[in-house]
C-alpha cells in the first residue's frame, strides 16, 4: 500500500511539475509498472536501457538472472509482469 501511494505521488510530480525521478529498485514488477525508463545492470555495467516493455523481456531477464522467468502483460496496466517459473 505504501509503495503504491509513493509511486503514484512520484508520477504525479513528474507529470504536473516536470520533475525527474531516479529510483534504484530490485522489485522488477514495481519498476515495470511505474517507470518510464528502466536500466538493467550486471556487475556495475549497463546491459539494457529503455522502456520497460522493451527492456524487461523474458530473454534479457533469463540471461541476467540465470533463472526460468516468464514475462506476461499485466491486464490492468499493460506493463510487463515478471513471474518466476517453478
Please give the mean pLDDT across all residues of the chain.
95
Give residues with Cβ within 8 angstroms of 38, minimum separation 6: 31, 32, 48, 49, 50, 51, 52, 55, 56
Domain ranges of the chain: 23-84
Nine-digit cell string for 61:
531477464
Average pLDDT over residues 24-50: 96
Give residues with Cβ within 8 angstroms of 55, minimum separation 6: 38, 39, 40, 48, 49
pLDDT computed for residue 16 by the predictor: 95
pLDDT computed for residue 1 by the predictor: 83
Write down the pTM of the prediction: 0.86
Res. 7 pLDDT band, cuts 50 70 90: very high
**Residue 21 predicted with pLDDT over 90:** yes
Collapsing DSSP to helix, strand or coil, 69 comes out as strand
pLDDT computed for residue 86 by the predictor: 79
Amino acid at each position: 500500500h505504501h509503495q503504491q501511494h509513493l509511486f503514484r505521488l512520484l508520477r504525479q510530480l513528474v507529470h504536473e511539475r516536470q520533475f525527474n525521478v531516479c529510483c534504484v529498485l530490485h522489485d522488477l514488477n514495481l519498476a515495470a509498472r511505474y517507470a518510464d525508463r528502466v536500466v538493467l545492470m550486471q556487475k556495475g555495467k549497463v546491459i539494457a536501457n529503455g522502456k520497460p516493455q522493451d527492456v524487461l523481456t523474458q530473454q534479457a531477464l533469463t540471461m541476467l538472472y540465470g533463472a526460468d522467468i516468464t514475462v506476461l502483460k499485466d491486464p490492468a496496466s499493460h506493463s510487463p509482469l515478471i513471474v518466476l517459473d517453478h
